[in-house]
C-alpha cells in the first residue's frame, strides 16, 4: 500500500490531532481510521464521470506515534470500480498539503 506517513508524534500532539480528527472526520466505524474527503476540483476524469461513486476519500489512520494516510482513493458506495485507484500527482500533492495544513493549524511541529 502506498502511504504518506508522519511519524514520531509526541503523545500530546496525538491527543490534539485525535480531537481534531474526531470533530471533523468521525464517520469511520473504527476509532482510529478517518475518511477524509477529496475536493471535487482535483478528481480525475473517470472520477468526475462516476457521479454515483462520489464523494471520494483517502483513509487516515492515527496511532499514538504516527499518522498514516493511504494514497488509495476510495468511495463508500462501492468496493470495486474503475474510479478507485491510487492518487495521481495532483491528488497526491493535495493530500500532502491538506495533512500538512492540519498540523500547521494545530501548531504541531513535525
> What radius of gyration, in Å, describes the C-alpha atoms of the chain?
14
Q: What is the pLDDT of residues 71-87, one digit of tens each?
A: 999 998 888 899 999 99
Domains of the chain are 3-105 (3.30.310)
Pair 9, 17: CB distance under 8 Å: yes
pTM greater than 0.85 (yes/no) = yes
83 three-class SS: coil
Mean pLDDT of 24-37: 83
Strand 72-75 relative to strand 85-86, pairing: antiparallel
Categorize the per-residue pLDDT at 28 as very low, low, confident or very high, splitting at 50, 70 and 90.
low
Average pLDDT, the chain: 94
What are the two backbone dihedrals, phi and then psi, of residue 100, each rounded to the nearest 5 degrees? Answer: -60, -35
32's grid cell: 482510529
Categorize the per-residue pLDDT at 26 as very low, low, confident or very high, splitting at 50, 70 and 90.
low
Report the distance separating Cα 12 and Cα 78, nearest Å: 36
Amino acid at each position: 500500500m502506498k502511504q504518506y506517513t508522519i511519524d514520531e508524534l509526541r503523545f500530546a500532539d496525538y491527543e490534539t490531532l485525535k480531537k481534531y480528527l474526531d470533530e471533523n472526520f468521525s464517520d469511520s466505524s473504527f476509532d482510529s481510521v478517518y475518511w477524509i474527503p477529496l475536493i471535487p476540483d482535483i478528481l480525475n476524469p473517470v472520477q468526475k464521470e462516476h457521479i454515483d461513486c462520489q464523494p471520494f476519500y483517502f483513509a487516515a489512520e492515527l496511532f499514538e506515534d504516527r499518522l498514516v494516510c493511504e494514497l488509495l482513493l476510495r468511495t463508500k458506495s462501492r468496493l470495486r470500480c474503475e474510479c478507485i485507484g491510487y492518487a495521481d500527482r495532483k491528488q497526491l500533492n493535495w493530500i500532502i498539503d491538506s495533512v500538512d495544513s492540519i498540523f500547521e493549524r494545530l501548531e504541531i511541529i513535525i
